[in-house]
Structures are given as C-alpha cells and as structure tokens.
Chain A
Amino acid sequence: MSGAFRRWLAPGFAAALAACDTPRAPTELATHTAGAGADSRDGDVFVEASIGDASQLNPVLAKDASSGDINDLVYSGLLRYGPDLQVEGVLAERWDVGRGGLEITFHLRRGVRWHDGVPFSSADVLYTYEKLRDPKVPTPYSSEYDLVKEVRAPDANTVVVAYREPFAPALESWMMGVLPKHVYEAKSFACPPTPCRPEAGPAKTVEDFVSHPANRCPIGTGPYKFCEWRTDEKVVLEANPDYFEGRPHIQRYIYRVIPDQAVQFLELRRESVDSMGLRPDQYRAYDVFFEAYRKYRYPSFSYTYLGFNLRKPMFQDRRVRLAVARAIDKDELIEGVLMGLGRAATGPFPPMSWAYDPGIEDFAYDLEEARRLLDEAGWKDSDGDGIRERDGVPFRFEVMTNQGNKTRELTAQVLQQQLRRIGLDVKIRIVEWSAFIQHFVEPRAFEVVILGWSLGRDPDQYLIWHSSQDGEGKYNFVGYRNEEADALWVKGRTTFDKAEREKTYRRIHRLIHDDLPYVFLYYPEATPVVHRRFEGPEVRPAGLTWNFIRWFVPAEKRRYRTQVSANG
C-alpha cells in the first residue's frame, strides 16, 4: 500500500510537505525535582515507534519483540553481547569456564540494587533459573537450558552452573534478564508509585507467576526504570540514576504503539516520534522526509533463501542446484525486491557475525555456465518449447512461500523470471503460514521453498543443519546431510575458545555454500532512522542501540523539557 502511497505523493506534494514545517514549542514532561549528580547532558525524551504493544514485561515469559525491547532496558542479564558481539559481563563481573566446559562460574557484580532498593544477589539468579525450568511456567526458553545439570549459589555473589556436556552457546542463555526473587515470591504485591503515577497501585494477592502484577510494572536492575504502561498506547521508562554503569543521559524513553507503518511514517514527518524502522520504500522516500533524521542501514541477523527439497530426485544432482544458483542474478533480485537495501548472501551466517567467512566467493551469475550444467545433467530442451526436459519429463517445479510476506512473494516472482531464462518452468504457490508448515513443510511435500531465518548472535545452527534434525517439527526439513559438517556443528557448540569456534564455523560456511542445500539469496538490511538531535548513535556489528545509555541531546536542541532526577 505504501508503495502506491509514495507514488501518489508526487514531487509537488513533497515540496508542500517540506514547506509546512510547523514549529512546536518544547513539550513539558514533568519528572521529579532536579538535584546534584546530574550531568549537563542529561535530559530530553526518546520516542520509539513500534508496530505492536508489549505483552508481558517479564523476560522469562515474553515471546514478542516489543516486550523484549522494553525488558532489555529494564532488566539486565548476567552477560550480554558487546558492540562487536563479544560476550561481556553485566550482572556477572567475570566468569570462568572450568572442567572442560562442564562448569561455568559467574562472579556477580557487588553493590547492585533492584529498582526498589533491595540488593541483588545470587538467589535472584537461582530463582530465575527455577522459573525457566518450571513445567508450569509457559516460557519458550526452557529448552535452552536442557543441558544444565545443576545451578547452585555457593555464596551471595557466586553462581555455578554445571552442564551434562560442554555447550558453548550456553553463555548466550545467561543473557536472559534476571528476575527479582523478593518481588515474585511475595504473597501480595502492589505496583510502586512512579514519576508518571504518583500513587501506588492496589495491593493484589499473588496467585501465580504468569498473572503476577509485576509483569505489568517490572522491577529490574537495568538502566531504565518502569514508569507507566498504557495498554495499546505507550510504555514509558525513566532513567535509573543508580544504574551501575552510570545513569543514562536520556531522561525518558517512550515506546509508542502505532500499528500501521504508513501512519508511523506520518508521525515521523510531524517529528512526533524519534525513531522507527523503515521499510525499503520508505527508506527511499524523498529527502525532505528526513531533514530532521539520520538514516542508518546495516545487515540484519537474518537471511532469505531458496531451499531445495533434497529428497526430490531432480534436486539431488548438485549440478542442477548449481545451475539454479548460477542463473540467479542476486543484484537484480535485491534491487527489485528490497530497493537495493540488502546484501547478497553466501551462507548461513550474516556478515556482521564473526563466523562469517568474507573470503568465500559466491557463484557468479553466469547463464552460459548454468545452461551447460543442465545439459550435462541431462536436462535439454529437445522439443523447442523453451522448457528443458529429461526422459520426456519437463523441468517444472513449484516454489512455495507463505502468505503475508510481500518480500518473499516478490522474490518468488523475480526468481520465476530469472529461472525461465535457463529453461526451467517455475510455478509459484503462496499458502497461509500455518497451513504451509502443517501441510507442506512438515510432511516434506514441497519441492522448493522461499523462506528466511532470523538468527541469534551465536553462530550455532545445529538445529537447522545437523542431519539428526530432520524429523517431525524439526528444522532441517530440506534434508541436508554432510558428515563433515555434522561433526563441525557438534565441535562448534562444544568448544568455548572463540578463535577455535571461528575456524570451525568458517569451514562450515564454506561447506554449506558449496553443497548448495539452499541458494542463499540475501541478507535484508535493518533501516532505522533516529532524530538528528541525538548524539551517539553508531552502527556496530551489534546494531545501533548497543550504547543507548550514552546517547544524549545537547541542551539547546532538546524538544522535551524534563527535570532530571538526582543520583539517589
């Protein structure tokens, strides 16, 4: 819709848009009184536009991205990814991996307090772990701890985790936000007063973990404190002056829910939101739209691929898969589908990851070579209808993708055209997501799919590629098998040494690239905008917001008047 919308906004309109900049007085958003310890950089408000509202401000229960965005600011984990995706300590000051990777010891940071003033200790970590493993708690994260044998706390500042077998991605699982035991174990709980809501909430008897009132007024240890949540409107957070890495400069963080991306874009034009994620067509809109903003682009941790069902005889021949890869002009595809906002993919790791091997040379677009490979494999156009056949069977197959993902649908159309050039007859079939999974992917009743993976920061993709993962409900549904890769996936997840892992994954990258179970199409780019008045945004492998607490607005550029609270 927005594509049409943009065309409709002919240049004349764009000029009119530029001319109608109504100056607005700074908006007053009162907070508590100013005091000592405040920095001259402290102040102003950051308004983020989001498609969806948060659901549960409890990192153990939250499944959606919106809740995750808020939880990341309110809670801290033991560890996190630093700007270059190295593992860093947060609530854990340092950690040792012992007994050949079977034991991880976390030494907790001392003097950390929860937002309500209660000291943080190892008991909170134990409590969080118990909830993650509690069969009555509907958390989607419990399987990440399947290999944990035991978690114990020898003292208030130490947590020791014992594993059944060494598991390197385990470190990532300790980035889970830690919950306050004293809050969740209390018999009754009332949301404490905040600067947004001066009166405390009603005291409620705690019935269970899922309906706990703190899931809607969280108490964490993170850089921002919870202030207010208006369902389907906004979530407001307030800088935590006592944050152990220093108080964030931006006084308030407002997460504004605007479910329609075209409307978000209009709000952007009014400068009533400071940041949003753009769609490619919005990114390519006239510059006047972005006078007050800076645009950023970087590859996201995901890729889109064309996956062959390797059980189908026609795709068992690598020459055929290679011919398809050679016939795909990825540049044309990215230009047409993402308006250039993507990068050609070469394998299962995104270019921001340390597992990505930049030395891999992609199969060049070469129609002659593609045709030669097909001839060699016995697929020839003997009846001159433009479609190749072998033993009288025409080379015809169905590319499937799920409904509702415009980019994938367009990708299918472009590929249909491109593969036609080498005499392959491609049909497109678009099916609603759940039906797609249930009736085609699960029973392996597809020929070729166009799908994407969003990836974690840790390169372990054992569940996608290992030959043991080709079963019901499992993710190696293309049926990829390579003994060397199998062994490397196992090695990668049991080795903690990063240099060693890097070598392992780069080897895997090459193997999978050459084996062609997928044609890796592109890594789409994340394209956020941030209002110009914010100083500090910088794109690193971890993305854009890794240093959010250090962003600030010079006093003369502030849009919102806030009173900065004192260090408590």
Chain B
Amino acid sequence: MGRYLLRRLLTLIILLLGITLVTFAVMQLAPGGPIDLATDMSAKISPEMKDRLNKLYGFDQPWYIQYGNWLARSVQFDFGESFKDGRPVIDKILERVPNTLLLNVCTMALIFLFAIPIGAVSALRQNSLIDRGLGIFVFVGFSMPTFWFALILMLLFGIFLGWLPVSGLRSLDYGELSATGRLLDVAQHLILPVLTAAFTGLAFMSRYTRVALLEVIRQDYVRAAAAKGLSPSRVFWRHAFRNTLIPMVTLLGLMLPDLIGGAFIFETIFAYPGLGRLGMEAMMSRDYPVVMGLGTIVAFLTLLGNLLADLGLAIVDPRVRIVSS
C-alpha cells in the first residue's frame, strides 16, 4: 500500500508538471500579451513605454526562463502577483474559494438529491412513460444553454414575479442586516444560480445512476434475493442500490475539481464573485500568473480526485484490493 501510494504520488507530480508546462505553452502561443492588450490603440502610449513594461514583467526573456522562474516560485506555493492589480495570485484565489465552494456544494447537494431518485425511478420503471418523461426532462436541462436558461429564470423570478434578486451574492444593504438576515439574503441570492446549475447538470448523475442500477438489477444475486422472498424494498436497498454506489465513488472523485473550478460563463452571468469569473477575466486579459495559478490548482485537484477515487474504491468495494508487488 505504501509503495503504491508513493508511486501514484510520483506520477501525480510528473503529470502536474506536464500540465503546467502545457498551460504555459498555450498561454505563450495565444497571440498578444498583457501589455499589448492593455495598451494597443491607445495613442497616448509610446512604443518605448511598451518595451519598458515588457521588461518590467520579464516578457523580454525566452519562454523557458520565464517558465523556470515561475516553477521555482510555485514549488514554494508562491504563484506570483497578478498583472491586473499587483496582488498575490494565491490571495486572489483564496478570497474567492469560499464563494465558489458555497455555490458548488449547494449545487451538487441538489443534484444528488434529485439525480439519484430520478435515476432509480427510471431504472426500476425502465422504458415506461415515467422513464421517458424523466429522460426528456434531464436532457432538456443538459442541452439548454446555461446563459439562456439563467436569463429566463431571472426574467421569471426576478422581474415578472419579483420574488428573487437577479444577480450577485449579497444585497447592497447586506452590511446592515442581522446575522439571520444575512443568511437569508445570501440564500435568496443563491436560489437562481443553484437552480440553473443543478438543472443543467442533472443529466450526468441521473443517467449514470440509471445505467448502474439497470446493470445491477439484472445480476443473479438480485434475482436470488428476490427469489428468496425478500421484500422488494429490501432487495432494492440492501442488494441492488448499494452496489450502484461503487461507481458513484469514482464519480465523486472526478467531481472534486468541479467543486473549485467554477463555471466561467455561468458566474459571469450571475455576477457571482467566484473563481470562474476570476479565470475568465484573467484569460481575457492574459493575466498569466492568475491563469497559471488557477490551472495548477485545478489540475492538482483533478489528479488528487482520481487518486482518492481509486483509494475510495478499494475501501467500498471489497473486490478491489491494492496488491503490493
């Protein structure tokens, strides 16, 4: 087990290095740098000035030196400073993590709450009207453009009915509210984004549950359990459903980076102060340190998620054992 872990961790580091290198290369290949975008076509800025700024940020150096400098700092968890406002990248990321976590945890909770029952019902009533209906429902959500659906919900709940705030995370008078008031205020602001994200993300989980369950209920041991005369609910909960949980663990691991990696367009629409918007704006303005910092963290979480999923699988599935060679 120890050696297995060590090997996995080593691969993780190598993969991580590779990913940062690719991210760096892509950023370099994207035309234009942060200086060009901020200064092109502003007739007040002389070419000498641009050169000076480029030197100041080290863009005059060859790419491998720039990457090396970046790497040397990042291994000490120093991702440098954003070009936009000179603040440490890590501060900018950390201050947005709670907001994005809040949104994504709520969304995932809602997805699990609905997707598993939807999947279960669809599987148990396979090919029935209800299965088809639910299938259509989740695929409508899946294929709906998020920004469009978000605007429709805003129009309906924010304007026609006037029940909910349209965008943002807090009201303007948040600072003057009591503790309960603040909680309610944030909750109100979260309803629309969470609803949008959950509805558009429902298909993945519910279809997975359906397929997993369909496979399990055809197994001999389920038939055996039913033949033994166990009640249908006992057959379902004890014998069928528990076994569908195994692939779910893998899924959960794969979803770990989703918890942090915000949805870019989505957060922008809702004026939500999260990581997705940070990433989006950083890419648009070629804010290399922020893009690299975010990329590294999301890549790390993805790899970690994979690792945890594999380890978790070993724990929940008695058939999987890690054998030290």
Contact = CB atoms under 8 A, between A and B. Distances in A.
B51 to A, nearest CB: 8
Contacts of B158: 266, 270
Contact of B160 (A1, A17, A456): A17
B318 interface: no
A264 B64 CA distance: 43
Given A27-B171, A256-B168, 14 more contacts: A20-B159, A20-B160, A27-B172, A135-B56, A211-B87, A216-B85, A259-B277, A266-B151, A266-B159, A434-B37, A437-B40, A438-B32, A453-B41, A461-B43
Contact of B172 (A52, A232, A254): A254
Contacts of B162: 20, 22, 270
Nearest to B154: A266
A433 B39 CA distance: 12
A234 interface: yes
Given A20-B162, A55-B84, A267-B166, A28 B271 contact: no
A130 interface: no
Interface of A: 1, 5, 16-17, 20, 22, 27-30, 45, 47, 52, 55-56, 61, 63, 135-136, 138, 140-144, 146, 196, 210-211, 215-216, 228, 230-234, 254, 256-260, 262-263, 266-267, 269-270, 272, 432-435, 437-438, 451, 453-454, 456, 461, 463-464, 471-475
23 contacts: A20-B162, A29-B172, A29-B176, A47-B172, A55-B84, A61-B86, A63-B38, A138-B57, A143-B45, A230-B170, A231-B273, A259-B277, A263-B167, A263-B271, A266-B159, A266-B166, A267-B167, A269-B159, A272-B166, A433-B37, A434-B40, A435-B31, A438-B32
B243 interface: no
B38 A140 contact: yes
Contacts of B57: 138
B52 interface: yes
A141 B39 CA distance: 10
A53 B50 CA distance: 24
Contacts of B46: 143, 146, 463
Contact of A451 (B31, B41, B166, B274): B41
Contacts of B154: 263, 266
**Nearest 6 interchain pairs by C-beta:** A434-B32, A473-B47, A232-B273, A22-B162, A210-B86, A434-B31
B86 A56 contact: yes
B53 interface: yes
Interface centre among A140, A146, A228 (most CB of B within 10 A): A140
Contacts of B31: 432, 434-435, 438
Given A434-B37, A437-B40, A55 B85 contact: yes
A29 B32 contact: no
A16 B274 CA distance: 33
A65 B205 CA distance: 43
A142 B176 CA distance: 42
A114 to B, nearest CB: 22
Given A27-B172, A142-B49, A437-B32, A453 B84 contact: no
Contact of B43 (A1, A263, A464): A464
Interface residues of B, number: 61
A56 B38 CA distance: 14
A259 B30 CA distance: 23
A258 B151 contact: no
Given A138-B56, A434-B37, A56 B161 contact: no
B166 A28 contact: no
A211 B86 contact: yes
A351 B185 CA distance: 47
Nearest to B82: A55
Contacts of A143: 44-46, 48-49
Interface string B22-38: 00000000111100111
Nearest to A463: B43
B175 interface: yes
Given A136-B56, A472-B47, A474-B47, A437 B172 contact: no
Contact of A29 (B87, B92, B168, B173): B173
Contacts of A260: 147, 167, 268-269, 271
B24 to A, nearest CB: 18
Interface in B177-193: none
Interface of B: 30-33, 36-50, 52-53, 56-57, 81, 84-88, 92, 95-96, 147, 151, 154-155, 158-162, 165-173, 175-176, 268-271, 273-274, 277-278, 281
A259 B268 contact: yes
Nearest to A234: B172
Contacts of B277: 232, 259
A374 to B, nearest CB: 32
A63 B22 CA distance: 30
B269 A233 contact: no
A475 B53 contact: no
Nearest to A211: B86
B85 A20 contact: no
A262 B37 CA distance: 25
A472 B46 CA distance: 11
Contacts of B38: 63, 140
Nearest to B175: A196
A28 B162 CA distance: 20
Nearest to B86: A210
Given A28-B176, A263-B271, A140 B86 contact: no
A232 B95 CA distance: 11
Contact of B39 (A27, A140, A256): A140
Given A28-B176, A434-B32, A230 B160 contact: no
A233 B169 contact: yes
B284 to A, nearest CB: 10
Contacts of B49: 140, 142-143
A22 B162 CA distance: 7
A439 B136 CA distance: 48
Contacts of B52: 135, 142
A144 B44 contact: yes
Contacts of A63: 38-39
Contacts of B155: 266
Contacts of B159: 17, 20, 266, 269-270
Given A138-B57, A263-B166, A270-B159, A456 B44 contact: yes
B37 to A, nearest CB: 7
A110 to B, nearest CB: 32
A437 B36 contact: yes
A453 B86 contact: no
A199 to B, nearest CB: 12
Contact of A433 (B40, B50, B269, B274): B40
Given A20-B161, A266-B154, A435-B31, A30 B176 contact: yes
A45 B169 CA distance: 20
Contacts of B42: 140, 454
A56 B166 CA distance: 27
A140 B81 CA distance: 18
A524 B36 CA distance: 24
B31 to A, nearest CB: 4
A270 B170 CA distance: 15
A438 B270 CA distance: 35
A475 B170 contact: no
B34 to A, nearest CB: 10
Nearest to A257: B271
Contact of B168 (A20, A27, A258, A456): A258
A255 B273 CA distance: 14
Nearest to A263: B167
